Structures are given as structure tokens and as C-alpha cells.
Structure 1
Amino acid sequence: MAEAKGWKDADTAIKSYTELEKRLTEVSSRAVAPPPEDAPREQWDAFYARIGRPQQADGYEFKLPDGLPETMPYDGESAARYKQWSHEAGLSPRQAQTLHDAFVRDQAQRYADHAATLVRRGERAHGELIRAWGDTKSAAYAQNVGFANRFIERNGGDALLRELKESGLLSTEGAVLSPGLAKAFARAGRTLYAEDQFATGNAASRAADPARTLYPNDPFASRR
């Protein structure tokens, strides 16, 4: 062994051993081992600090991953809570960012799927109303829109419209998602307010303001 190591005498062997012990000490000082599961919080905090956890939760700075839908909302309050959870879990900034990106991408896919589902649902609803009321430029369509809109205005107005959107019966852009409800509003409006047609000469006259209209002429125009 002495020949293989190149030790010519005892001093050379001792020097080699001393150098080896020094290197082992350096490696040991750089090694990071977690404390026992039942260790006090102070030991865990010291361990988390050694692996790079910031001192405070607000020390994490998250960047949004690329490729997210432009219209996708980002919840800053949820991000702040996630920072707190990451700090409690002892995550390093890199670990926290990795999990943050994975979660945001998952939510982005869910958001895109939901948006596509609403578009398809709106297209089906619009097609059903056209089959029932005629082309969007027809007098029958305009009359039904007017009666439905009049019913909405006189039975809740903007507050009812907000509730319909929150309930998923209208899209946020105002597109009809429930053709059955739209027909019911039109029938109710015709039954209750048909006499207004004789006073105004046009049952759809009150539907002229787009902000007050339940059914825009083209509910998908905003998506083009």
C-alpha cells in the first residue's frame, strides 16, 4: 500500500493522511442532512436556512411561466398565501418557483378548457335561438330580443344580468348560454309587456342600448 500510495517514509504517510482528513472535514461541513422528525422547530429552521429558504415568506419572488393565455387572471392574494405555505414547508426559492409554475400551468390549461367549453355552449345556444326566432336580422328575432330585454330591465335590470353571468347562464361578454331561459324571458316579456308595442310601435325599441341588451346581435363578435 505504501508503494502504491508513493509513501517513502512515515512523514509522507502522515502528511497524506492529514490531507485526507482535511478534505473529509470540508465535505462534511458542506453536507446538509435534515434533522430528526421530532427535532425542535429551531433545528428545522436552521436546516431550511442552509438549503436556501429566505428569512421571510415575502422573500420569494415568483415569475409567471411563458405561454399563459393573455386573458387568464392571476390571483395575487393566492400567490401571497402560496409564499407563506412555501416558507412553512421550508422550500428554497427554486423549489417554490418550480411548484408555482407547475400549478399555474395546470390552472392555465383548466382556464383554456373552460373558455373553449363556454364558446361551444354559446354557439349551440345561439344556434337554437336562431332556429326558434329566425335570423338575427329578422323582425321575429328582434321582437323576441326586445321582449326578453324588457322583462330583464323591469325585473332586476343590471343586478339580474350580473346574477345570470355569475350563475353561468350568460357569459361575461353577454352571450346566451341557456337558450331555454332566453325563450322563457321572451315569452314572459311578450305576455307582460306586449301592450308597450302599441305605444312605441316597436317591441325591440328598448333593446337599442347594447349595455342593456341581454342578447347582442352577434354574441361572438368579441371573440373574433
Structure 2
Amino acid sequence: MKRFYMLNNEMEDPSAGGGGGEVAATGLTTGPTTGLATGLLGESQAAVVAKAAAAPGRQAGGGFDFRKLVGDDGRFTPDWVTKLPEDLQQHRSHFAKYSDPLQALQHTLNLQQILGKKAEAVVIPAADAPREEWAPVLKRLGVPDSPEGYGLRIPEELPQGVTVDEEELNEFARYAHDIGLTPQQVAKLQEYDLGRAGKWAATGEEQARAWEVREFNRQSEILTKAWGNGPEAVQKKALAERAALTFGFTPEEVGNDPLFRNARFVMTLARAGAAMSEDALVKGSDINSVGGLRARAQDVISNPANPLYKRYWDGDPDANAQVHAWMKAG
């Protein structure tokens, strides 16, 4: 009985001698029954299948004889990459790192596991890429959407001598956001900056105190050279103080203002006081009286804030000489 092939309107000819040819790996037939492939795929597609089946190194239907790459020991032969199909030859350097099929399979499994873990990974753009390309990366790193997201605040406890300006803090937040710093990086930078500022403040304070002590000693030497350390010096200092009070300075200013640690200014006040009548002069606070000098010496000995305090207790000869002179004058 004849059988009809409905897809190409052909009827089987029993005299064709067995009909059908070899079955290719694709499931299509080759040889006498090529017409079926043409009917299923179309003429051009069937030609592609036939061409693939005839490609060098591949079996019929597009397969490849993998056995010629492996030796009797189950490992790849030394020149196995040269026997790869033409479409894989360009990747020979990659395949050459495998010594046997199991190693290649294990590497494939490892890659699959890595890809599974990195399913949500982001691609790192080039360093000069626009901000828009960096946005997904910055978001994953935790960079806030705006400078305010850093939550920067002036610390409640600042190093001694350090102040923080609110506008400068906001400017730092804007700059940090512009270059894509994470909140953790910003916090560490703020901590570092405050520590450095504290060291600078401490160093600056020490330098200022040292300069103040040196300058005080220098001015004291000028007065000592001009007036000596006896009663005459005590009287002139008291006269300078009274003149300052008469001109409107307060006792606090006379005792603390650096202006009154300038020898020439003090001598000018003393001359002005001497030119004024006794009735015109305000009575002094006795800071430079005999008892006042003794009090000044006691202040050096007991007051850590006194510029001469540390030098005195460190055994500085000039500071000790000054204290002894004041005590002696008292």
C-alpha cells in the first residue's frame, strides 16, 4: 500500500528500494529523502543544515567527534586545541588551560555558581564615565541621594581650641557627595580632620604660650634695665597703673591686657603719671605696690594659667629670678 506524505504532496514509490535514507542527528533525513527536509524547513534552511553536516571535523547533523581530542589516559592530547572546529579556533588560548574534560566541566560548574551569586552584580564603569553610569554602583555602595543624607552634625565634644562652622560642614558634605564617598568614609574623614585640628590647636596654644613667656621676659628685662628692681621700680609701676586707671582703663585690663606687658607703654604711662598732679590721678589698685609684687610672685607659684608657672616649676633660671625679685621687693 502506498503511503502519502501530506507535507509535500508526494506519494511513496515502493520501487524506490527501501525509501528513506540514513537518519541524521538532527532527526531529518539525508540522501534520497532530502525532499522532506526541504518541505519542513524551506529550501534555504535545508541547505544550511546540509552544509553544517558537511563541515570539517563535524559529524552528520552538526555533531563533533570529541574522541579525537582525548588520549587513552582520558586526558586531552597535547595538540588537542588545534583539532577544534573552525568556529572555536579563535578561543584556543582559553581552552588550552584545561588538561582533561573533567577539569573543563568543573570550571563550567564554578562559573555557573559564580554567576548565580553575582546575579545582582553591577558593572563598574570607566573612571571618566558620566555620573549617570556610576549611579547604580554608588547606590549599591550606600552613597546617599543627597549631601543631607550623610547626617553630618557638629560633635558635642570638640578638641580643646577647635571650633566647627556649620557652613563649612555643609560644604564638606556637598563635596563628599559630589565625589561619591560613602557615609563610612565621610565619618572617618571627619574624625581624622577633628583629630588633626585638635593637634594643631594644642601646638598653636603651646607656641603662643611660649612666645608670650619669651616676650614677657624680654619686656621685663627692658624695664629692669631702665628702672632696676628696687623700690624706685615699684613706685614707677604703681604710678603707671594709676595713670592707666585715670585714662579709663579698668583694673582687669591693667592686670590682663597684653598692652600692659609692653615695657615702653608702661614707661610712657609712668611719665604721664609723673606729669600729673596727685589729685588728678586715680588711686591705684596696689597691684604694683610692695604687697602687690609679692602677690604676683605667689600667683606665678600657684596659678597654672600664669605664663611663668610652668617655667618656674621646671627650674627656669629667669622665671625663678623674677619670682625671687618680686618676693624680695615685698
- When normalised by structure 1's length, the TM-score is 0.60
Q: For residue 237 of structure 2, what is the aligned residue in structure 1? A: 141
**3-state SS of paired residue (1:199):** coil
Structure 2's unaligned 5+ residue stretches are 1-99, 288-295, 307-330
Q: Is this contact kept in 1: 2:159–2:198, CA < 8 A?
A: yes
**3-state SS of paired residue (2:258):** coil
Structure 1's unaligned 5+ residue stretches are 6-12, 155-160, 162-172, 208-216
Q: Percent identity?
A: 19
Structure 2: how far apart are the matches of 1:43 and 1:20?
Answer: 26
Q: For residue 166 of structure 1, what is the aligned residue in structure 2? A: none
Check 1:203–1:73 CA distance in 2 against 1; reply closer, same or farther (3 A cut).
Answer: same
Measured after TM superposition, the shift of residue 50 of structure 1 is 2.3
Measured after TM superposition, the shift of residue 114 of structure 1 is 0.7
Pairing partner for 1:188 from 239, 246, 268:
268
Structure 1: how far apart are the matches of 2:172 and 2:154?
Answer: 14
Q: For residue 212 of structure 1, what is the aligned residue in structure 2? A: none
Check 1:138–1:206 CA distance in 2 against 1; reply closer, same or farther (3 A cut).
Answer: closer
Q: For residue 114 of structure 2, what is the aligned residue in structure 1? A: 23
Structure having the larger proportion of residues in helix = 1
- Encode CA deviations 1:8-61: one digit per residue, 9 max, x unaligned: xxxxx69x9577425325326335524440x33322334322221111212223
Q: Is this contact kept in 1: 2:138–2:180, CA < 8 A?
A: yes
Q: Is this contact kept in 2: 1:69–1:108, CA < 8 A?
A: yes
Check 1:59–1:185 CA distance in 2 against 1; reply closer, same or farther (3 A cut).
Answer: same
- 1:26 maps to a residue whose letter is K
Q: Is this contact kept in 2: 1:52–1:92, CA < 8 A?
A: yes
Q: For residue 164 of structure 1, what is the aligned residue in structure 2? A: none
Check 1:130–1:108 CA distance in 2 against 1; reply closer, same or farther (3 A cut).
Answer: same
Q: Is this contact kept in 1: 2:259–2:265, CA < 8 A?
A: no
1:44-193 alignment to 2 at 5 Å?
Answer: 44-62=134-152, 69-131=159-221, 132=223, 134=229, 138-147=234-243, 153=249, 174=256, 176=258, 179=261, 182-192=262-272
Larger CA Rg, structure 1 vs 2: 2
- 1:21 maps to a residue whose letter is Q
Structure 2: how far apart are the matches of 1:177 and 1:117?
Answer: 19
Structure 2: how far apart are the matches of 1:55 and 1:223?
Answer: 49
Check 1:20–1:45 CA distance in 2 against 1; reply closer, same or farther (3 A cut).
Answer: closer
Structure 2: how far apart are the matches of 1:125 and 1:150?
Answer: 27
Measured after TM superposition, the shift of residue 122 of structure 1 is 1.7
- When normalised by structure 2's length, the TM-score is 0.44
